[in-house]
Structure 1
Amino acid sequence: MNESVCPPDAAPTEPVPDAVAPAPDRPAVPFRLEPVAAPERLAAVDVLRGVAVLGILVMNIYAFALPMAAYFNPLVWGGNTGADMWTWIVTHLLFDQKMMTIFSMLFGAGLVLLDQRSATRGVKLGGVYYRRVLVLLAFGLLHAYLFWYGDILYNYALCGMLLFLFRRVAPRRLITVGAALILMAMLSYTAMGGFFMLARKTAQEAATAQAAGRTLTEFQQAMAETWPELRQQFEPPPAELQRQIQVHRGSWSGLFMERAPNVLQMQIFMTLMYFTWRLGGIMLIGMALMKLDVFSARRSPGFYRRLMLVGYGLGFPLVGLGMWDLFRTRFDFIHQFLAAGHFNEVGSLLVALGHVGLIMRLYQVGVWSTLQRRLAAVGRMALTNYLAQTVIATTIFYGYGFGLFGAVPRFPLMGFVVAIWAVQLWYSPIWLRHFRFGPAEWFWRWLTYGRRPPMRLGVDGSCT
């Protein structure tokens, strides 16, 4: 699915309640929940979140710029030879579901940070937390229906409502439950493939029966009508591809009418069948890893080296085997659901852990310190940057902007990715020199806490 997401990112998590001195004309209140103060942030988490929110764009750019089926099948559109095919191979190996996995783990980690700091201050978290996720849910709905079908904020918010119940669970149990939920997602994915296979087989039988002059059963008739619609989603004919391209190059209203049914289907059917299980499981694992200090760069260098070796050593072969199976079957979408896709379902989690080990080790060593500071700034503004990627990309590729949808193959698309990375790495630290939060984070806090938080920093770094 789209890396949306969301990230993620997913959406970023705001770690923290802050102590506030009571006003002299009111009864003293020891603490109340406030947005996180900069000194309390974990810089390593911000760096990791920055890498993730930039990394998800590598996959999301396909969904922004190409027909929907091309996200899953490079043979559909976007170039399937030479540099374009190698681009798909590299992005699938390193990024597909890997960065979204990191982003999702960090969402769970954020709840752990919130809970720990709330407990330290003796304040209740529940009310503020659920307002946070409800606001995030609203952001997701607006993002999905008004801008882009690949939104992930909606699903993050729904999963976040359930995560709260697990905030005090021990790491080992979190990992066990998380793994079970991921397995449920894989079983559900397989079940969808089984239904697709049944629909194809029954439709073929119906065609044979009609040719022989036999009356179709109700089930055969239903599958004969359903199968062409299913196939068109994953293996669209040239006429359908051209129709999608023209819609995306057309007006905003026409694109909205195209997008809304797809969003509704994803937010109901795919949420129930897949996203809740997969994302929820990954978030629980992220909560466990936060409790085990994995994301804080506080573990030993040897731990992160082992995490890299195990994650990459097991993950890359699994993802590679899945790619071989996809090429062998010419990206048959039913086979992807039944078998080939599972290699990346498991492999992406392992490779993501390898990425975490690598990033945390580099953070410990302190290499590329300037880049790390910029990545941390991107991570602190992750919600803003995630939404900004949508605004920038849709302006480039949709009809209300430059209308390049369907016109740019995969390899050149990476140039747009690098350009957007450069812009966000440039403006994020500049913004945070003057303001406490990114614009979206500030608005999120305003709606969550019911009062406008201070935004601008003074010359000495204090809030004004």
Structure 2
Amino acid sequence: MTHQPRASGVTTTVRIHDVDAIRGLALLGIFVVNITFMASAYPGNLVDDPSFSNPVDDVARFVVAALFSMKFYLLFSFLFGYSFVLQIGAAQRAGVAFVPRMLRRILGLFALGAGHIVLLYSGDVLTTYAVACLVLLAIHRVSDRVALITAGAIYAFVSLSLVVSAMFLDRSDFMPSSSEALVAAEDQTQSMLGSFADIVGQHLDGLGLLVIQAVSLQGPTALAMFLLGMVAARRHLFSELGGKDELPRRVQWAGFPVGLGGGVLFAALGGDTNTLATLVSVVTAPFLAAAYVATLVRVLHSHRVTWVRGALEPIGRVALTNYLAQSLVGFVLFTGIGFGLAGQVSPPLLLLLALVAFAVQALASAFWLRRHRYGPAEYLLRCFTNWSRPGRVNVAVGRGGTE
């Protein structure tokens, strides 16, 4: 956010509305993927639920894999890096040291993530972001050139490790067979219908896999996107992009052919179950994520579809609250503490549920922001970050500031 003093002494805040809307889109994509893991233990065991094996179910899985999987967490990571630079500006305006303040924010984020894992959803990304942000904090003074080279090197290393795995490692040596995975998935899905202690126990049992995934894939790629987002924020990408159609068009022309082709190949090869497919997605998913952003930016600045901004911006402004709320929705719908629908909802219905729940979140976010400046989770994190309660803020409507 950009804070400008007024004669009354009240701080005025101008937001980059495009960033909020893009963050809202990222939340939608993340939820479409996460709800499949919340609904049963089969995706987490890298097998399909045999109860849903008709062509419509297969098409829904294919669509999610091709268009959503491994795309939107990259976009969310990019925006995290973008916001990191905005936090530097906020600390400077407040006249406080940035590093201690950011360390408190990282600790608060990790605490929220840890609680999220234990209580709601074991597929949390906040803890991974917190750890990766420590690395970003340590190197954040590097030049743009070094940041870009580092991001490229990280991606090259992850890609090379996947190539080596695909060529020289036999997954059967360290992964269960399909029949074993099906048995485990059925048992774990039944555990989701048990007591609260059963659910927490299952979440804790999944910590090992979460750590492996974070260290080997999600953490490094998130850090690379943090660095790209940091450079984009330094260059005021979204505060200067509005109305400039040439760059988004170029990104679309490059991003969609590569990204969609890679997404289709990823899905056709078996998605997460295949190391080669994962490699394809790691290489091509950033192109599709960038194309999505370019398309949304063009839509946001079109006078014909103004409702898109109104739908996405509020949910993006309270993104942390909505991210946690999505897990709460999954917890209530699928576990035995709530409606107990685990293992009973088909892939097409899960996709529909995600869209409906997201629409409700958008309406609720807009309603909340009419009366409150921050979402509940944002308020808590801000209090811990600043070590004080937020002061009175007037929100100026406009573009061109920072967030």
CA-to-partner distance for each residue in 1:110-140, whole Å, 9 max, x for gaps?
0122224544666431111111011001111
Letter in 2 for 1:380: R
Q: 2:200 aligns with which of 223, 245, 256?
A: 256
Equivalent residue number for residue 257 of structure 2: 313
Equivalent residue number for residue 155 of structure 2: 182
Instruction: Tell me how many residue pairs correspond in the alignment.
Output: 394
Whole-Å separation in 1 of the counterparts to 2:394 and 2:143 = 39
Distance change >3 Å, CA 414–CA 322, structure 1 → 2: closer
- Is 1:355 the counterpart of 2:292 in the alignment? yes
Distance change >3 Å, CA 94–CA 150, structure 1 → 2: same
- Is 1:452 the counterpart of 2:389 in the alignment? yes
- Is 1:92 the counterpart of 2:65 in the alignment? yes
With the length of structure 1 as denominator, give the TM-score of the two structures: 0.77
Q: How far is 1:239 from its partner? A: 3.2
Distance change >3 Å, CA 297–CA 99, structure 1 → 2: farther
Q: How far is 1:68 from its partner? A: 4.1
Contact 2:272 2:278 in 1 (8 A): no
- Is 1:124 the counterpart of 2:97 in the alignment? yes
Distance change >3 Å, CA 360–CA 296, structure 1 → 2: farther
Contact 1:184 1:277 in 2 (8 A): no
- Is 1:292 the counterpart of 2:210 in the alignment? no
Distance change >3 Å, CA 194–CA 66, structure 1 → 2: farther
Equivalent residue number for residue 9 of structure 1: none
- Is 1:436 the counterpart of 2:373 in the alignment? yes
Query: Which structure 2 residues correspond to residues 199-214 of structure 1 after superposition, within 5 A?
Result: 200=173
Q: 2:176 aligns with which of 218, 231, 245?
A: 231
CA-to-partner distance for each residue in 1:80-104, whole Å, 9 max, x for gaps?
3322111112222221111111111
Letter in 2 for 1:356: V
Query: Which structure 2 residues correspond to residues 337-348 of structure 1 after superposition, within 5 A?
Result: 337=275, 339-348=276-285
Whole-Å separation in 1 of the counterparts to 2:234 and 2:247 = 15
Between stretches 427-436 and 114-123, larger displacement belongs to 114-123
Q: 1:197 aligns with which of 137, 150, 170?
A: 170
Unpaired runs of at least 5, structure 2: 396-403
Letter in 1 for 2:375: G
Contact 1:70 1:77 in 2 (8 A): no
With the length of structure 2 as denominator, give the TM-score of the two structures: 0.88
Equivalent residue number for residue 57 of structure 1: 31
Contact 2:23 2:316 in 1 (8 A): yes
Q: How far is 1:292 from its partner? A: 3.3
Q: 1:48 aligns with which of 7, 14, 22?
A: 22
Q: How far is 1:191 from its partner? A: 5.1
CA-to-partner distance for each residue in 1:235-291, whole Å, 9 max, x for gaps?
645433321221011111012222202124423x33332332111011111222223
Equivalent residue number for residue 142 of structure 1: 115
Q: 1:170 aligns with which of 114, 130, 143?
A: 143
Equivalent residue number for residue 398 of structure 2: none
Q: How far is 1:395 from its partner? A: 0.5
Equivalent residue number for residue 221 of structure 1: none
Identity, in percent, stands at: 27
Between stretches 442-451 and 188-197, larger displacement belongs to 188-197
Between stretches 246-255 and 115-124, larger displacement belongs to 115-124
Greater than 6 Å deviation, 4+ residue runs: 16-21, 455-458
Whole-Å separation in 2 of the counterparts to 1:369 and 1:407 = 37
Contact 1:434 1:457 in 2 (8 A): no
Larger radius of gyration: 1
Q: How far is 1:175 from its partner? A: 2.2
